Structure 1
Amino acid sequence: MKVEKNSQKLKSINTAGVILKPSSPELKDEYLNIKELFENMDIKILIEINSAKMIGLNDGLTLDELCNKVDFLVSVGGDGTLLSVSRKSFKSNIPVLGINLGTLGFLTDINMDELPKFLNDLKSDNYKIDERMMVEGSVNLNKFVAFNDIVITRKSISSMIKINAKIDGKPFNSYFGDGVIISTPTGSTAYNLSVGGPIVYPLTEAFIITPVAPHSLTQRPLVMPADFEIEFKISDSQGAVVIVDGQDIYEVEQNESIKIKIASQKAKMLHRCERNFFEVLNEKLAWGN
């Protein structure tokens, strides 16, 4: 098996900050269990303020305060929770561990029954930190970062949308259909996959541009190096909607542009050394069954 090039380690493993899936007060017992497991390994637990309030606790900290006090963050929920935590803590450059209480779990690979072993491995330096490409984008005066994808789509379901695309300022395509997905390699297994886009190894640095229900059958997904800047200009008179990681939404009017480039920093994710992307694909997508 090929050895990962990245051999980063945490500077210390003394304090972790927990963020729970929103609107899930039933996670209180899971949190208390996680807290006990961590503290048994001499790792102090702090909790984010909204998560604390949700489960009836009064000792929460803001995410910024949490990032300044902990060695790593712990996202408890599913991939959506991990996406949100990674984006909101992006500027802090702090690793995130995902505990999976969801279903699919492409990003959150540690289940509750695997947590005790992982904590032992963590204390023994038997873990890895993946660095995942992030995307920076701008819509008018709004700037944002994306972990998975940016979707440009029509405002009305009754009509198609036309989007003119440029790479480094030079026109290269016009998309006419339901929209376009601009995905990171990590996000290639999300919406991109569901519309027939390619799966790309998550530690790659590349953009995946995938048309959604294109009017022309000649339109195909495109994988390109991440050192280009991409611009999408809306030709449709009704404008468009830009959706970032399925969580933030921006409206764009006719002749306005969305500019996208690789982010200056990467997201850091804590994983088991045993985690193998191709085994994950085999399990989650039931390949060979």
Structure 2
Amino acid sequence: MSEAGQGGWRPGGGRHVLLAAHTGRHDIVDLARSSAARLARAGITVRVLADEAAELQIEGAEVVAADAEAARGAEIVMVFGGDGTFLRAAELARYSHAALMGVNLGRVGFLAETEPEAVEETLTAIEQCEYSVEKRLAIEVDVLDASGAVVDGTWALNEVSVEKAERSRVLDVVIAIDGRPLTSFGCDGVLFATPTGSTAYAFSAGGPVVWPDLEAILLVPSNAHALFARPLVTSPDSVLSVAVPPDGNRARVSADGRRALDVPDGGRVDVRRAARPVRVARVHPGSFGDRLVAKFGLPVRGFRDARRHDPGQELRPSRNVLMRDVVSLPGDRPGDGGAGPAREEVRGGTADPDA
């Protein structure tokens, strides 16, 4: 779901952008500083978090505590880092009307809007209020004890995992949808994911990729000892539950890999749509399919374009990213009996930056 950008954001009332950065890397700090300077020249007040202010050293920035008030009144929370930094910033933005805009300086960066080389274009879009805002479904979690009383809770943008506390033992669970038991099995855990999080932990556990504009909640068992333990895609209005027996392995909850809760013996975890979505700002046009191709490096060249048609010979010579050399096919070298073009040696290579 999306809406128009904030064109003419609070005319006369001033504009504010909160910066959140991975301050452990000098290149990220430098990029955040230069971006802050440009926003300030455009008359936009820059905020920084108190626990990052010393590392960023942005002159004239408004320093705020990293709490529920940090993003109130801000138009954008601009994130410099990988998906981990983005999820940390989401904890602040969800309490406000601010939209998250990420600059990917990590490995994959599915949540980020732009790459470092396009920062200037992104800053121009912020200055001119030329961006759209997507509303991303988030999930809320209630942890209940054996009597059914709520004893704890949290939320997540990507996923919530109910995991076994002791690695040497299987976690026995009963799965229910909307209060009706569905199945039970032993497992390492159960994942509950949003469409935004479908390309993260849930995808690695065998879950489907779900387009982020679709509203749904995913349930993905992790290493289940059962025949019927396939991923499920449910209504966004459903309540998904996992109950653990009082005499079994203890369980714990992890939300976005950042917040952890213990499940009481014989307790239950309920997952439902959060009342407040997370707002994500978008500048660059392009479909989610394009994002999948770019982030995962998917092969989109069809078989009809292949140079050879026998099995295993459809790819052209390419660099071996592990050995930093060229992999050649029969027919590409003189004397191989083929007429393939000559190949230049490829040297070097770069690794993806850290998230």
Q: Decide: shared fold, TM above 0.5.
A: yes
8 A Cα contact 2:45 2:62, kept in partner: no
8 A Cα contact 1:148 1:188, kept in partner: yes
In the alignment, the residues of structure 2 paired with residue 174 and residue 194 of structure 1 have an alpha-carbon distance, to the nearest angstrom, of: 22
Unaligned runs of 5+ in 2: 145-150, 301-355
In the alignment, the residues of structure 1 paired with residue 5 and residue 56 of structure 2 have an alpha-carbon distance, to the nearest angstrom, of: 32
8 A Cα contact 2:102 2:111, kept in partner: yes
In the alignment, the residues of structure 2 paired with residue 263 and residue 126 of structure 1 have an alpha-carbon distance, to the nearest angstrom, of: 28
In the alignment, the residues of structure 1 paired with residue 175 and residue 227 of structure 2 have an alpha-carbon distance, to the nearest angstrom, of: 18
Q: Which residue of 1 aligns with 2:48?
A: 47
Which of residues 254, 257, 272 in structure 1 aligns to 2:265?
Answer: 254
Matches within 5 A, 1:4-23: 6-10=2-6, 12=9, 14-21=15-22, 23=24
3-state SS, counterpart of residue 151 of structure 1: strand
TM-score where L is the length of structure 1: 0.91
Q: Which residue of 2 aligns with 1:152?
A: 162
Q: Which residue of 1 aligns with 2:277?
A: 266
Q: Which residue of 2 aligns with 1:192?
A: 202
Identity %: 24
3-state SS, counterpart of residue 269 of structure 2: strand
- In the comparison of the two structures, how many residue pairs are matched? 285
3-state SS, counterpart of residue 215 of structure 1: coil
Q: State yes or no: 1:132 paired with 2:114.
A: no
Unaligned runs of 5+ in 1: none
3-state SS, counterpart of residue 45 of structure 1: strand
8 A Cα contact 2:218 2:231, kept in partner: yes
TM-score where L is the length of structure 2: 0.75
Q: Which residue of 2 aligns with 1:78?
A: 82
8 A Cα contact 1:37 1:116, kept in partner: no
In the alignment, the residues of structure 2 paired with residue 126 and residue 30 of structure 1 have an alpha-carbon distance, to the nearest angstrom, of: 21
3-state SS, counterpart of residue 275 of structure 1: coil
Residue type of the alignment partner of 1:245: D
Shift of 1:152: 0.8
Q: Which residue of 2 aligns with 1:96?
A: 100
Q: State the structure with bigger RCO (CA 8 A, min sep 6), 1 or 2.
A: 1
Which of residues 58, 63, 79 in structure 2 aligns to 1:60?
Answer: 63
8 A Cα contact 2:114 2:284, kept in partner: no
| Counterparts in 2 of 1:179 and 1:206: CA distance versus 1, 3 Å | same
| Counterparts in 2 of 1:34 and 1:124: CA distance versus 1, 3 Å | closer
| Bigger Rg, structure 1 or 2 | 2
In the alignment, the residues of structure 2 paired with residue 93 and residue 136 of structure 1 have an alpha-carbon distance, to the nearest angstrom, of: 18
Q: Which residue of 2 aligns with 1:117?
A: 121
C-alpha distance after superposition, 1:33-79 (max 9, x if no partner): 11123224332211111111344579521144432342221111111
Matches within 5 A, 1:15-34: 15-21=16-22, 23-24=24-25, 27-34=28-35
8 A Cα contact 2:80 2:102, kept in partner: yes
Residue type of the alignment partner of 1:35: A
3-state SS, counterpart of residue 47 of structure 2: strand
Q: Which residue of 2 aligns with 1:37?
A: 38
Residue type of the alignment partner of 1:212: S
| Counterparts in 2 of 1:69 and 1:127: CA distance versus 1, 3 Å | closer
Structure 1 runs of 4+ with >6 Å offset? none
8 A Cα contact 1:18 1:48, kept in partner: yes
Higher relative strand content: 1
Alignment RMSD (CA, Å): 2.1
| Counterparts in 2 of 1:46 and 1:116: CA distance versus 1, 3 Å | same
Shift of 1:231: 1.6
